[in-house]
Structures are given as structure tokens and as C-alpha cells.
Amino acid sequence: MYTRQVERILANYKDNRTALISILQDIQAEFNYLPAEVLKLVAQKLNLKLIDVYSISNFYKSLRLSPQGKHIITICTGTACHVRGTLKVLDEIQSQLGIAPGDTTQDKKFTFNTVNCLGACAIGPVIVVDGKYYGHTNPMKARQILSNLKRKIKQ
């Protein structure tokens, strides 16, 4: 079922195996994550061992082996945010969603990620919800942001 799309992406890179990371990023953009069958397909087409493709997918943080939820909540854990109290905000989001960073809720509605630094240090601690930045957050603000999001989904 993935063959046509994968072949199209590989053709963009002229089957060049040195572009493997970019190829996998493009495939991920297409399917939301990297399904096991796709990894096998890529290995086969590029004449690589499956372990080579898998280890790349596992090593780089931007590549995912499981699908993301519909809404993505990302918290910046950079140093500037950390000294301004990110951990407390992280704890709050974790308890509100009931999942640890890196996980997706069972209903596939929310994915909770951390990022090493967003470069928006001036407004830390920063949370990003579906691409929208929220600055100067604290546990209470985070709770509000999440309950607003949940209310919006229900409507």
C-alpha cells in the first residue's frame, strides 16, 4: 500500500542512499510516522540492510516509529526555560494528559513532546500547541491552555 508514494519520494533523490535522512523525513511527512513496512521497503529499494534504515530512524529525534496524535503539545526544556520553571509546567501537562513526554494518548488525540530549545528564550517557559506559541507559562496557565483546547475539540 505504501509502494507508490515511497517510490515517488525515492525518485526525487535519484535513489541516493546518502540522502537517507532526508528521504525518511519526506516519507514521514507523507505518512505521519515511519511504519515498519515502509522501513523494509526503503531498505529493499536502496539495497541496504534493514538494521541500517532502522538505526537511523531510531537515532534521530525528528524521526518517529509510531504515529502522532491529532493535537501536538510541545514544551521547551531549554536551559533558559528550565531556570524559569519548565519542570513544574511539564509535570502539570503530564498529569492533565496522563501521558509522559514522547507519548500519545490512547484515543490518539494528543501527543506530548519535549524539545531541547525553541530559541524563543525571551518568553520562556514556552509551550507550543498545534503551532501556536504560549509564553511565560506556569502550571496554572498550562492547565487553562489544555482545558481550552479540550473544550474546543468537544465543540
Partner 1 sequence: MKKIKTARNLEQYRQEIIKKDSKYKKIITVCGGTGCHAYGCQLVKQRFQKELQRNKLLNRVRLKFTGCHGFCERGPIVTIRPENIFYQRVQENDVPEIIKETISKGRVVKRLLYEDSITKEKIVHMEEIPFYKFQKRLVLGQNGLLEPDKIQDYIAVGGYSALVKALKLSSEKIIEIIKNSGLRGRGGAGFPTGRKWEFCREAEGEIKYVICNCDEGDPGAYMDRSLLEGNPHSVIEGMIIGAFAIGAKEGYIYVRHEYPLACRNAQIAINQARQLGLLGKDILGSEFDFDIKIGKGGGAFVCGESTALIASLEGRVGEPRDKQHLHTTESGLWGKPTNINNVETWANVPLIINKGPEWFYRIGTEKSKGTKIFSLVGKVKNTGLVEVPMGMTLREIIFDIGGGTSDGKEFKAVQTGGPSGGCLPAESLDLSVDYEQLSAAGSMMGSGGMIVMDETTCMVDVAKYFLNFLKEESCGKCLPCREGIKRMLEIVTDITEGRGAEDSLALLEELATVVADTSLCGLGKTAPNPVLSTLRYFRNEYENHVRNRKCPAEVCAPLLRYVILADCCKGCGLCMKACPYNAISGRPKEVYTINQDICTKCGSCRSVCKFSAIVIG
Query: Strands (DSSP E) along the chain, which ranges?
Result: 71-76, 110-115, 127-129, 132-134
60 sits near partner 1 (criterion: CB under 8 A): yes
Of residues 20 through 59, those in contact with partner 1 by CB under 8 A are: 20-22, 25, 55-56, 59
**Exposure on the CB side of residue 44, measured as CA atoms within 13 A:** 9
Q: How far is the CB of 60 from partner 1 (least distance, A)?
A: 3
CA-nearest of 98, 88, 154 to 127 is 88
Q: How far is the CB of 134 from partner 1 (least distance, A)?
A: 9
Question: In the structure grid, which three cell numbers stand for residue 14, read together?
Answer: 535519484
- With CB under 8 A as the contact rule, the residue among 3, 79, 147, 148 that binds partner 1 is 79
Query: Applying CB under 8 A, which part among 3-11, 34-42, 65-73, 136-144 lies near partner 1?
Result: 136-144
Query: Applying CB under 8 A, which part among 3-11, 33-41, 60-68, 147-155 lies near partner 1?
Result: 60-68
Count of residues that interact with partner 1, criterion CB under 8 A: 42
Q: How far is the CB of 51 from partner 1 (least distance, A)?
A: 11
Distance CA 111, CA 149 (A): 13
DSSP per-residue string spanning 80-123: HHHHTTHHHHHHHHHHHHT--TT-B-TTS-EEEEEES--S-GGG
Pick between residue 132 and residue 152 the one whose CB is nearest to partner 1.
132
- Helix then strand then coil, in percent of the chain rounded to 5, is 55, 10, 35
Sites of contact with partner 1 (CB under 8 A) = 17-22, 25, 55-56, 59-63, 77-80, 82-84, 88, 91-92, 95, 115-124, 126, 133, 135, 138-140, 143
